[in-house]
C-alpha cells in the first residue's frame, strides 16, 4: 500500500470525525450561542470601557475647583485623566491607596502635589508634572503610604478566588446531571438546597486552602503587611467565596452541557475581571460602570479586603460589603435551588 | 381493571397519562401493587414502561392521573421508604464501594446497617474497589445495595439485568429472590421473560402506552394458550408441510406451530413425510405470550 493511500485514508477518517464534531457543536444551540457570544460581548464591553478617545495612562486628582486648562498647561497634557476631588483628605487617601496616581492642588501657586514615591505610575506622572511646572512642590503623605504591590495583591488573591469558586463547583454539578448521578440522588430524601449547600461548602474548603497558600506564600515574598484583623480578613474571604460559588451554581443548576456552562461562566468572569478592581481602580470611571461594578460580589470582596489590609478597617467600615456578600450568597442559593434540575430536560 | 389481591394495595396507579409534544407515552394506565408482591411491568421497547415506572418512582411528573403510596400522594414518606435501581445509574467518581454505600446510607434517617447491605448483596470482596473498576454484574450488585440501604418497603428494579452475562444475571436473580423472601414489595421491568416468569407474582404487559394484559403469569398463560408449541428446524419444513394449512411462524431458522391437538398434528406431519428427528414440544411460556400480544414484527 502506497504512502499516498495511507495518507488519503487517514485524512478521510480525520474528516469524518471533524465533520461529526462540527455538526455536534453547531447543533448544540446554547453552546454555540455562548461560545460565539462571549467574544462578541467582550468586543462590546471593551469598546464601552476602552473605546472613544485614547484611554488616559495616568489618573490625576485635582482639588476643587478645577481651573481651566488654559490657566495651567499641565491640565492639557494628553493621556492624563483629571478628576476633580472635593475633599483634600479623602483625595490624599486615594493617592495613598494607589487609586489616584497623583493629586494636584491648584488653589494656590506654586502648585502643590502628592504622589507615592514607589508607585511606577505616580513616579512617571510626577516627572511629567515637574517638566511642565518645575515650581510645583511635593507634599508629604501622612502615615505609611501603600505600595502598589500591596494594592495589587488583594486583586490577585481575588482573581484566584473567583476562578476557584466560579469554575470549580459548576462543572461537577453539570457532569453529575449529565451522567445521571443527580437523577439517582433525586430519588432520595436529599433536597436541591441541601445538595447545593454541600457543594458550596465542599468548594469553600478548597478555595480557602488555595487562597491561604497564596496569601502566605506570596505575602512572604513581597513582605505584605495586613494593617487590620486577620480574622476579619478570613470572614470576608469566606463570605466572598460562598457568594461566588453560589453564583457559579446558579449557572450549573439548570444546564447539562459542560460547553454551555463553560461559555456562560466565561461570559460572567470577563466583566468581573475588568470591572471589579482587580487590576485598576474605577476611580473617575463613568457612573454606570461604577454602578455595574457594585453588582459583582468580587468588587465587594476586593473593597473589603483592601479596606482591611491597607487601612486597617474594622467590621463597621466594611459592614455594607459583608452584608452584600451574605445576602447574595442566600439569594444565589435560593435561585439555584429554585431553578435546579436533577435531570437533563 | 384493577388486580384483586388478598393483600392491601401498597401502590395504586389510576388513569396515568404522560404526553410529550409528539406522542403519548402512557395512555390511561391503572393498576395496583399489593404489599409483598413482585410486580412485573413488561412491554416492547417504546411501550411506555420506563415512563410509567419513572412516574411511579416520583422522578417524572404525569400529565394526568394519580399515584398513591399507602393511600397518600407520593411525598417525603415515599422517598424515605422507596428503593430504586434505575435502568442507567452513574455513581460518584473516585469513591469505593463502601464509601458509596456510606454516602447513600447517610441520606436516610432509617435503614439497614451498611454491613448488612454488604452481606445481602455479596459485596464483601469489593469494598475497597473504586466504583469505576467494577464489572457490569458487580456494579448492579452495588446499585442494588444502594437501593436497599434505607431498608425499603417498596423496591423498583428497572431492567436490572440488561447487559449482564448469563452467569451474572442468574447471580442477580438469586439476590432478588432472597430479598423477595423477606416479603418486600418489588416492581420490576424487564425484557427477559424468563426473568419475569421466575420473579414476578403478577405482571402487566403494556404496549403503545396502554395495558394489554394483566394478572399472574400462569393465569395469563392459561387464559391465552390452550395449546402446546412445536418447534422444527426450518429445513425440515418441506413445501408439502407448508401446504398443510397449519398456522405456523418462522424465524431464526426455526418453525413454530401452536396446536390443541398434539397427536393429530403429529400424525399429519408424519403423513406428509416431515422429519420429526429434531422436533421439540414445549408448553407456552411468557415469551410466547408476550409475542402473541405485542406482535412478532420488528418495530420501527
Q: What is the pLDDT of residues B257-282, one digit of tens each?
A: 888 888 888 888 888 888 888 888 88
Kindly determine whether residue A180 and residue B89, on different chains, have CB atoms separated by under 8 Å.
yes
Tell me the CA end-to-end span of chain B in Å, nearest whole number: 30
pLDDT in tens, A128-151: 999 888 999 988 876 666 777 888
* pLDDT for residue B150: 94
Residues of B in contact with A184 (CB under 8 A): 84, 86, 89-91, 146
Region B15-26 average pLDDT: 91
DSSP A134-165: TT-EE-PPSS-PPPHHHHHHHHHHHHHHHHHH
Q: Where does the pLDDT of residue B38 fall: very low under 50, low under 70, confident under 90, or very high at 90 and above?
A: very high
B4 interfaces chain A, CB cutoff of 8 Å: no
* pLDDT for residue B35: 92
A189 interfaces chain B, CB cutoff of 8 Å: yes
pTM: 0.75
Q: Which residue has the cell 464489572?
A: B135
CA distance A325 to A331: 10
Tell me which H or E stretch contains A319. Answer: helix A319-339
Average pLDDT, chain B: 87
CATH architecture classification, A58-138: 3-Layer(aba) Sandwich (3.40)
Q: Which residue has the cell 429434531?
A: B278
pLDDT in tens, A246-285: 998 888 887 777 778 887 888 788 888 888 888 777 776 7
* DSSP-assigned beta bridge partners for residue A103: A61, A114
Region B199-216 average pLDDT: 90
Region A186-201 average pLDDT: 88
Mutate to test the interface with A, among B50, B51, B107 (most CBs of A within 10 A): B107
From B299's Cα to the closest Cα of chain A, the distance in A is 26
Q: Can you say whether the dihedral through the CA atoms of A37, A39, A42, A48 is positive or negative?
A: negative
Position B299 pLDDT exceeds 80: no
Q: Where does the pLDDT of residue B2 fall: very low under 50, low under 70, confident under 90, or very high at 90 and above?
A: very low
**What is the radius of gyration, based on Cα positions, of chain A?**
25
Kindly determine whether residue B59 and residue A343, on different chains, have CB atoms separated by under 8 Å.
yes
* pLDDT for residue B102: 93
Position A179 pLDDT exceeds 90: no
From B59's Cα to the closest Cα of chain A, the distance in A is 7
Backbone angles phi, psi at A226, to 5 degrees: -90, 115
Cβ atoms within 10 Å, residue B228: 16
Closest C-alpha to A42, from A246, A276, A267, A305: A267
From B101's Cα to the closest Cα of chain A, the distance in A is 13
Question: Would you call A196 exposed, middle or buried from its count of C-beta atoms within 10 A (0-12, 13-18, 19+)?
Answer: buried
The complex scores an ipTM of 0.80
What are chain B's domains? 9-218 (3.40.50.300), 226-283 (3.30.70)
Q: Which residue has the cell 471533524?
A: A18
pLDDT in tens, A36-87: 676 676 677 666 666 666 667 888 999 988 888 788 888 888 888 888 899 9
Q: Where does the pLDDT of residue B193 fall: very low under 50, low under 70, confident under 90, or very high at 90 and above?
A: confident
* pLDDT for residue B275: 86
CA dihedral A86, A92, A93, A98 (to 10 degrees): 110
DSSP chain B: -----SSPEEEEEEEEEEE-SS-EEEEEEEEEEETT-EEEEE--TTSSHHHHHHHHTTSS--SEEEEEETTEESSHHHHHHEEEE-SS----TT-BHHHHHHHHHTT-SS---HHHHHHHTT-GGGTTSBGGG--HHHHHHHHHHHHHTT--SEEEEESTTTT--HHHHHHHHHHHHHHHTTT-EEEEE-S-HHHHHHH-SEEEEEETTEEEEEE-HHHHHHHH--SEEEEEEGGGS-HHHHTT---EEEETTEEEEEES-HHHHHHHHHHTT---TT-EEE---HHHHHHHHH-SSPP-
A285 interfaces chain B, CB cutoff of 8 Å: no
Q: Vertex A341, ends A340 and A344: CA angle to 5°?
A: 150
Tell me which H or E stretch contains A242. Answer: helix A230-252
* pLDDT for residue A35: 65
Position B116 pLDDT exceeds 90: yes
pLDDT in tens, B58-99: 999 999 999 999 999 999 999 999 999 998 888 888 899 999
Mutate to test the interface with B, among A180, A188, A344 (most CBs of B within 10 A): A188
Average pLDDT, chain A: 85
- Write b or e for each residue in B232-247: b if 16 or more Cβ atoms lie within 10 A of its Cβ, otherwise e: beeebbeeebeeeebe
B181 interfaces chain A, CB cutoff of 8 Å: no
User: Which residues, in sequence order, are CB contacts of A33 under 8 Å at separation 6+?
Assistant: A263
Task: Assess contact for A24 and A258: CB atoms under 8 A.
Answer: no
Q: Which residue has the higher pLDDT, A47 or B188?
A: B188
pLDDT in tens, A208-233: 998 999 898 888 888 888 888 999 99
CA distance A133 to A73: 9
Task: Assess contact for B95 and B130: CB atoms under 8 A.
Answer: yes
B82 interfaces chain A, CB cutoff of 8 Å: yes
B58 interfaces chain A, CB cutoff of 8 Å: yes
From A162's Cα to the closest Cα of chain B, the distance in A is 25
Closest C-alpha to B157, from B53, B17, B64: B53
CB pairs under 8 A between A and B: 43
Residues of B in contact with A188 (CB under 8 A): 79, 104, 107-108, 150
Kindly determine whether residue B76 and residue A189, on different chains, have CB atoms separated by under 8 Å.
yes
B92 interfaces chain A, CB cutoff of 8 Å: yes
Position B298 pLDDT exceeds 80: no
Domain(s) of CATH 3.40.190.10: residues in chain A:
58-138
* pLDDT for residue B40: 94
Least CA distance to A178: which residue of chain B? B90
- Tell me the residues of chain B between 62 and 81 that have a Cβ less than 8 Å away from chain A: 76, 79-80
Least CA distance to B59: which residue of chain A? A187
Grid cell for residue A197: 449547600
**Alpha helices (H) along A51-104:** 88-96
* pLDDT for residue B1: 44
Backbone angles phi, psi at B92, to 5 degrees: -65, 135
User: Before B97, cis peptide (omega within 30)?
Assistant: no
* pLDDT for residue A254: 77
Least CA distance to B152: which residue of chain A? A188
Nearest Cβ partner for B90 among A181, A188, A189: A181
From A209's Cα to the closest Cα of chain B, the distance in A is 21
* pLDDT for residue A104: 92
Kindly determine whether residue B146 and residue A190, on different chains, have CB atoms separated by under 8 Å.
no
Nearest Cβ partner for A189 among B59, B89, B108: B108
Residues of B in contact with A183 (CB under 8 A): 59, 86, 89
A70 secondary structure, DSSP code: G
Region A90-112 average pLDDT: 88
DSSP A183-219: HHHHTSS--HHHHHHHHHHHHHHHHHHHHHHHHHHHH
Grid cell for residue A13: 477518517
Kindly determine whether residue B57 and residue A187, on different chains, have CB atoms separated by under 8 Å.
yes
CA distance A135 to A95: 21
Q: Where does the pLDDT of residue B5 fall: very low under 50, low under 70, confident under 90, or very high at 90 and above?
A: low
* pLDDT for residue B85: 93
B102 interfaces chain A, CB cutoff of 8 Å: no
User: Before A5, cis peptide (omega within 30)?
Assistant: no
From A100's Cα to the closest Cα of chain B, the distance in A is 50
User: Which residues, in sequence order, are CB contacts of A213 under 8 Å at separation 6+?
Assistant: none
Grid cell for residue A79: 493621556
Q: Percent of chain A having pLDDT more than 70? A: 91
Beta strand B254-259 with B248-251 is antiparallel
Grid cell for residue A120: 511606577
CA distance A63 to A74: 14
SS3 A240: helix
Amino acid at each position: 500500500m502506497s504512502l499516498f493511500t495511507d495518507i488519503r485514508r487517514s485524512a478521510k477518517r480525520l474528516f469524518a470525525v471533524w465533520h461529526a464534531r462540527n455538526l455536534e457543536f453547531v447543533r448544540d444551540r446554547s453552546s454555540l450561542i455562548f461560545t460565539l457570544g462571549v467574544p462578541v460581548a467582550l468586543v462590546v464591553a471593551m469598546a464601552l470601557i476602552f473605546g472613544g478617545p485614547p484611554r488616559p495612562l495616568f489618573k490625576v486628582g485635582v482639588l476643587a475647583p478645577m481651573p481651566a486648562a488654559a490657566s495651567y498647561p499641565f491640565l492639557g497634557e494628553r493621556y492624563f485623566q483629571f478628576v476633580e476631588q472635593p475633599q483634600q483628605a479623602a483625595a490624599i487617601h486615594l493617592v495613598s491607596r494607589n487609586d489616584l496616581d497623583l493629586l494636584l492642588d491648584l488653589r494656590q501657586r506654586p502648585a502643590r502635589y502628592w504622589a507615592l514615591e514607589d508607585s511606577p505610575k505616580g513616579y512617571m506622572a510626577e516627572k511629567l508634572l515637574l517638566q511642565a511646572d518645575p515650581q510645583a512642590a511635593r507634599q508629604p503623605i501622612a502615615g505609611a503610604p501603600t505600595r502598589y504591590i500591596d494594592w495589587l495583591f488583594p486583586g490577585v488573591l481575588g482573581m484566584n478566588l473567583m476562578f476557584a469558586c466560579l469554575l470549580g463547583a459548576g462543572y461537577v454539578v453539570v457532569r453529575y446531571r449529565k451522567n445521571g448521578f443527580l437523577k439517582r440522588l433525586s430519588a432520595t430524601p436529599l433536597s436541591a438546597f441541601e445538595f447545593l449547600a454541600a457543594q458550596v461548602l465542599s468548594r469553600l474548603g478548597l478555595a480557602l486552602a488555595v487562597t491561604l497558600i497564596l496569601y502566605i506564600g506570596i505575602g512572604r515574598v513581597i513582605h505584605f503587611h495586613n494593617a487590620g484583623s486577620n480574622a476579619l480578613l478570613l470572614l470576608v474571604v469566606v463570605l466572598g467565596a460562598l457568594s461566588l460559588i453560589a453564583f457559579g451554581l446558579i449557572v450549573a443548576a439548570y444546564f447539562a452541557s459542560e460547553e454551555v456552562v463553560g461559555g456562560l461562566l466565561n461570559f460572567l468572569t470577563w466583566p468581573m475581571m475588568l470591572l471589579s478592581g482587580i487590576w485598576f481602580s474605577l476611580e473617575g470611571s463613568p457612573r454606570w460602570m461604577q454602578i455595574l461594578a457594585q453588582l459583582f460580589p468580587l468588587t465587594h470582596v476586593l473593597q473589603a479586603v483592601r479596606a482591611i489590609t491597607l487601612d486597617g478597617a474594622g467590621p463597621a467600615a466594611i459592614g455594607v460589603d459583608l452584608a452584600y456578600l451574605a445576602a447574595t450568597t442566600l439569594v444565589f442559593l435560593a435561585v439555584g435551588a429554585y431553578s435546579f434540575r436533577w435531570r437533563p430536560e | 381493571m384493577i388486580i384483586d389481591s388478598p393483600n392491601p394495595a401498597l401502590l395504586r396507579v389510576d388513569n396515568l397519562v404522560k404526553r410529550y409534544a409528539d406522542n403519548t407515552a402512557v395512555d390511561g394506565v391503572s393498576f395496583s401493587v399489593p404489599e409483598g408482591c413482585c410486580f412485573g411491568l413488561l412491554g416492547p421497547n417504546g411501550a411506555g414502561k420506563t415512563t410509567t415506572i419513572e412516574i411511579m418512582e416520583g422522578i417524572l411528573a404525569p400529565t394526568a392521573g394519580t399515584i398513591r403510596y399507602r393511600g397518600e400522594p407520593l411525598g417525603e414518606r415515599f422517598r424515605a421508604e422507596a428503593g430504586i435501581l434505575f435502568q442507567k445509574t452513574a455513581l460518584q467518581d473516585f469513591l469505593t464501594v463502601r464509601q458509596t454505600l456510606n454516602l447513600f446510607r447517610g441520606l436516610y434517617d432509617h435503614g439497614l446497617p451498611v454491613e448488612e447491605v454488604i452481606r445481602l448483596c455479596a459485596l464483601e470482596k469489593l469494598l475497597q474497589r473504586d466504583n469505576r473498576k467494577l464489572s457490569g454484574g458487580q456494579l448492579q450488585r452495588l446499585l442494588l445495595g444502594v437501593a436497599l440501604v434505607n431498608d425499603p418497603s417498596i423496591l423498583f428494579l428497572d431492567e436490572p439485568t440488561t447487559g449482564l452475562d448469563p452467569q451474572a444475571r442468574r447471580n442477580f436473580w438469586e439476590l432478588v429472590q432472597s430479598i423477595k423472601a423477606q416479603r418486600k414489595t418489588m416492581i420490576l421491568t424487564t425484557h427477559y421473560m424468563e426473568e419475569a416468569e421466575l420473579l414476578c407474582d403478577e405482571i402487566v404487559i403494556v404496549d403503545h402506552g396502554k395495558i394489554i394484559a394483566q394478572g399472574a403469569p400462569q393465569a395469563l398463560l392459561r387464559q391465552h394458550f390452550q395449546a402446546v408449541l412445536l418447534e422444527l428446524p426450518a429445513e425440515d419444513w418441506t413445501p408439502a408441510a407448508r401446504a398443510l394449512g397449519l398456522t405456523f411462524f418462522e424465524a431464526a431458522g426455526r418453525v413454530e406451530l401452536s396446536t390443541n391437538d398434539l397427536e393429530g398434528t403429529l400424525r399429519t406431519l408424519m403423513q406428509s413425510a416431515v422429519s420429526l428427528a429434531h422436533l421439540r414440544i414445549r408448553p407456552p411460556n411468557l415469551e410466547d405470550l408476550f409475542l402473541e400480544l405485542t406482535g412478532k414484527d420488528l418495530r420501527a
